Amino acid sequence: MTRDSLPPLHLLLALAVVAVWGTNFVVIKWGLGAFPPLTFAALRFTFAVLPAVFFLKRPKVGWRNLILYGLAIGTGQFGLLYIAMTSLISPGLASLVVQVQAFFTIGLAMLIAGERVKGFQVAALALAAAGLAWLMAHANADATPLGVVLVLGAALGWAIGNTATRAAGPVNMLSYVVWASIFSAPPLFVLALAVEGWPAMSHAVTHAGPAAWACVLWQSVGNTIFGYTAWGWLLARHPAATVAPLALMVPVFGMGASALLLGEPLAAWKLVAAALVLSGLAINTLWPRFAARRAVGAA
């Protein structure tokens, strides 16, 4: 096993995470039908903290790290993403554009940790970037410029969160995500009060039905606690350039679920973009093993 490839069980865990994250864009869209975006985000992180924080010890990491992660993922990633998904970008396209986080994550790792990106990883990311560019060139009415900018901001927030996770090291990631979420909910509530207003917030909470609360619960438990705990665990043990590109599969699940459950058109140009992204992912994932076997054969 090379340093640039994931063990099979780690790869399966990463695929489970991206499947949850991809299909989650449909759940977000459903939840936004009942809650204003910032209120929805604040509730998500409130239930990521409660009641779990009373049963988990604070991880052995500095408060600054926890605060950075909480703000980056809470306000930065999901605050912006939820606003964009109200009407400014479709769920399928949002699931794709946010994957720019892979490029931001690797860039930050190079800048801060001095990681070096190998040639095959550059080729893989270039191919995936071509898929993103192709999709954006054909977006038409599926995405507004403001929506794209907001999702790019969300991608940067995700990348900063990835960087904070790697700096934390191999800590208890469940505890890390729960305690960091303490710093996600309050800023979101303050922003919700300022932007959406208390009447809209209270009306949404008091009139939400079981399906809406199920969306909040899925955001908190499935997407936040499971997804980010597992993702952070992987980032703490493998180079960012190996783990981050795996998230490029999120739009495959996102576009598929959006087409199946929301009726979002799955046009040919979207399939071309998905094929390019998958090709880049395949190179990034399989090339290290191919190179290792070739080296063994040549020895």
How large is the angle between the packed helices 101-112 and 119-137, nearest 10 degrees? 140
What span, in angstroms and rounded, lies between the C-alpha atoms of 130 and 297?
Answer: 33
1: in domain: no
Instruction: Give residue 10's identity as a one-letter amino acid code.
Output: H
Alpha-carbon dihedral angle through residues 207, 210, 214, 216, given to the nearest 10 degrees: 10
- Check if the beta carbon of residue 116 is closer than 8 Å to that of residue 165: no
224: tokens are 């936040």
24: tokens are 């989650």
SS3 at position 57: coil
Paired with 256 in beta bridges are: none
Name the region of 33 (left: φ>0; alpha: ψ -120 to 50; beta: rest). alpha
What span, in angstroms and rounded, lies between the C-alpha atoms of 239 and 288?
Answer: 13
3: in domain: no
What span, in angstroms and rounded, lies between the C-alpha atoms of 66 and 295?
Answer: 42
267: tokens are 């046009």
CA 280 to chain centre: 18
Handedness of CA 282, 283, 286, 290 (dihedral sign): positive
Q: Which stretches within the chain are classed as H helix?
A: 8-32, 37-49, 63-71, 80-87, 91-97, 101-112, 119-137, 145-168, 173-180, 185-195, 198-207, 210-217, 229-235, 240-243, 250-262, 268-298
Model pLDDT, residue 1:
45
- Which of 124, 121, 127 has the alpha carbon at shortest distance from 109? 121
What span, in angstroms and rounded, lies between the C-alpha atoms of 297 and 291?
Answer: 10
Model pLDDT, residue 114:
73
- Check if the beta carbon of residue 228 is closer than 8 Å to that of residue 180: no
97: in domain: yes
Model pLDDT, residue 78:
94
59: in domain: yes
Model pLDDT, residue 256:
87
Name the region of 176 (left: φ>0; alpha: ψ -120 to 50; beta: rest). alpha
47: in domain: yes
Q: Which residues of the chain have pLDDT under 70?
A: 1-4, 115, 139, 141, 241, 285, 289, 296-299
Model pLDDT, residue 285:
65
Model pLDDT, residue 133:
81
CA 184 to chain centre: 15
Q: Please tell me the total count of domains within the chain.
A: 1
Task: Report if pTM > 0.85.
Answer: no
Segments forming the whole domain that contains residue 225: 8-298
